[in-house]
Amino acid sequence: MAERPQRESTYLRLARELRTAILRHDFPDGVRLPTEAELAERYEVSRQTVRRAFQDLVAEGLVHRVPGRGTFAMPREEQYLRQFGSVDDLMGLSIDTRMDVVAPLHARVDVDAAGRLGLNTDRVHKLSFLRLHDDVAFCHTSVWLPPAVGRLLDSVPELTSPGSPNAFTVIGLLDQRLPEPIAEAEQSITVAGATPEVAGHLGCEPGRPLLRIDRVYQSAAGQAVELAISHFLPEHYSYRVRLRRNGA
């Protein structure tokens, strides 16, 4: 059996927990986050670890530091901004967004999707949904799954009924059901014009330039378990990723 990926470092884990709390609105405008000393004691880590976690959150635009007063969550804006550095960050989309199913999970023949998933059959399971933040649709996503993987989600009623809102992510649901955890995603980012179908769901004109992100997720065993193609409205979404040097 393939080994699970190595555990993330302490400061990244702390940054993730603070990020989740901020996105849940645990620290609304004007409410100070715990101090470095308080967090160091609570999580039994060094103040340097806490400081580095705060540095990441500042760089992401999630918090700002006021000398003499402390660290505060940044006021929320209309544009949805998230930083993604791992598959776990993508699973965390369910923290502060919802998924509205527009085409329920169903079996179909799709030669292109099957080829991208490396299948020896042309049959796949497909699902399409909108991702919303504060009731504003900012993304349309279509997901294709190998038949055996799709059957793992047949028992999730929210995915088989159109118009069902929920707080899931597909990869989060799969990660609970697959024999091997989802370990990585291969991603490409391009620009594409909105098809009539996508334009109708996002409320924009056909042909409108959209940010397109393709991801193929693989399990720890190296199996392709999901192809997801998402189209984002640029006025409602900003994509940011932090790059580090090796060993930094």
8 A C-beta contact, residue 169 and residue 99: yes
Q: Give tens-digit pLDDT for 155-171.
A: 898 898 877 778 788 88
Global confidence as pTM: 0.66
pLDDT at position 134: 79
- Map out the domains of the chain with their CATH numbers: 10-73 (1.10.10.10), 80-240 (3.40.1410.10)
Q: Give tens-digit pLDDT for 45-75.
A: 999 999 988 888 887 777 888 888 889 887 7
Residue 63, CA distances (Å) to 8, 70, 177, 197, 209 in order: 22, 10, 35, 37, 31
Mean pLDDT across the chain: 83
Q: Give tens-digit pLDDT for 156-211.
A: 988 988 777 787 888 888 988 998 888 888 889 999 999 999 999 999 999 999 99
pLDDT at position 77: 53
Distance of alpha carbon 173 from alpha carbon 157, whole angstroms? 12
Neighbours of 4 (CB within 10 A): 10
In the numeric block, the tokens 């923290």 are attached to 95
Angle between the N-to-C axes of helices 47-59 and 36-43, in degrees from 0 to 180, rounded to the nearest 10? 120
Stronger pLDDT, 2 or 24, i.e. the higher one? 24
Q: Which two tokens stand for residue 63?
A: 């918090």
